[in-house]
Amino acid sequence: VKKGSAVISKGPGLFGNAVLQRLSYLAIEDEGRLRNPRIKEHFLTKLFTLASFRKTKAVGSFEKLVQFHSENKLLLKAYNQKETKALGRIVANRKSKPFDKVIGDYRQRLF
């Protein structure tokens, strides 16, 4: 880019975009956008939900996953009812699969 030339577009850039695509489940937000109260609330909700989910995953038990889903069901429904039902099916059909597979499937749909 030449000195004094205009910026073509605003965005995360090539590296930032690759990180966002590969790690879409992370709570990442631009500092400027956090001035918007709704965006800030969504960001903090995602941040704390992901922290709780990480603790659930670390315990490694189906019971803890069922508890996580039950405790967050209304919150998840507020964001997306269809995905919440899909998450519920993952939890309900857990008995025939290993924990790592179930928790991985759940994480992919969570955010």
Residue 8: inside a domain: no
Can you tell me the mean pLDDT for 18-37? 69
State the pLDDT at residue 33: 77
Instruction: Tell me which residue range forms the domain holding 52.
Output: 13-110
Instruction: Please report, for residues 33, 44, 103, the alpha-carbon distance to residue 21 in angstroms, rounded to integers and kept in the order given.
Output: 19, 20, 20
Number of domains forming the structure of the chain: 1
Express as a percent the part of the chain with pLDDT over 70: 74
C-alpha separations of 79 from 13, 49, 70, 71, 74 in Å: 28, 12, 15, 15, 9
In a domain, 17, yes or no: yes
Domain annotation covers residue 4: no
- pTM for this prediction: 0.73
> Is 105 domain-assigned?
yes
